Amino acid sequence: MRPPEPPLRRILLGLDAVGPSASALAFAVSLAARLQAQLDTMLLTEADLSRAAALPFATEVSPLAGLERRLNDPLLRRSLHALSERLRTTMTQLAGPEQVRWSLQLAGRAEWDDLLAQPLEGTLFVLGHSPAPGFGPRRRSRKEQPRVCVAYDATPPGQAALQIATALDPEATRLRLTQADPANSPVTDSGTPRLIAWLGIFRPQTVVLPASWYAHRAGTLAPVLARMECTLLLVG
């Protein structure tokens, strides 16, 4: 019997405006369809980029032609608008057949960080993406890399993380975090080194964590997860 679907209201995907990932978008659409949630995509821009564009010596180099051209704020805005329109077309093509409700908006990275710092219940954040096979049950050999790993505790977000990971992969590898791991005390936090060691052993394709637990450890965990090039799902 397939496990019950976790109660999710929306999935939030943050895409870097400098180089948005089409595979991350396709993954998020599949995830939203699988969990029957709305997908809200935020195209993230840096506030410093607009200020830099106003400098008299600011230029950009075309990644295709290798040509250098003057960079200014109107040109930057047109580039972002063209990028968002291309993403809208892609989202329409991907989400339409899956019947996924979606939205796309431009947002500052600070706004995204604020959402991560105070995650709402029923929200799932998608950070990074590693191309991975589809969801669902399957038998895994002993030497095969696990698709989904989840670290959870007894809190509501922790239990939601466990439920989501199990819905994505009934054979998800699990690490239980003890309540003795304080949320904001790095001196006595045993959960972070345990998680890092655990990830080094299993090297999963997707990692599911409670968002509030991750928020206090992002400075330590983010570089580790980035080096592993795995998908990170944070549960509010």
Q: How far apart are CA 102 and CA 56, in angstroms?
A: 39
Same fold, 1-129 and 132-236: yes
Q: Tokens standing for 61? A: 């180099």
So where are the chain's domains? 1-129, 132-236
pTM: 0.78
Nearest to 25, CA basis, from 34, 36, 35, 12? 12
**Dihedral pair phi/psi, residue 162, rounded to 5°:** -60, -40
Domain 1-129, CATH: 3.40.50.620
Q: How far apart are CA 25 and CA 42, in angstroms?
A: 11
Nearest to 233, CA basis, from 143, 183, 155, 172? 172
Q: What is the pLDDT of residues 124-183, one digit of tens each?
A: 999 876 655 455 544 454 455 668 999 999 999 999 999 999 998 999 999 998 754 445
3-state secondary structure of 131: coil
- Do the beta carbons of residue 44 and residue 112 sit within 8 Å? yes
Helices 22-35 and 156-168, interaxial angle, to 10°? 100
What is the model's pLDDT at position 141?
47
| Residue whose tokens read 């369809």 | 33
Phi-psi region of 36 (alpha: psi -120 to 50; beta: other; left: phi over 0): left
Low-confidence ranges of the chain (pLDDT < 50): 1, 55, 57, 61, 64-65, 133, 137-139, 141-142, 180-182, 184, 186-187
What is the model's pLDDT at position 73?
62
Tell me the one-letter amino acid at 226.
A
| Residue whose tokens read 């895409």 | 15
Nearest to 6, CA basis, from 122, 100, 99? 122
3-state secondary structure of 11: strand
Residue 106 burial (C-beta neighbours within 10 Å; 0-12, 13-18, 19+):
middle
Class of the CATH-defined domain 132-236: alpha beta
Q: How far apart are CA 162 and CA 149, in angstroms?
A: 9
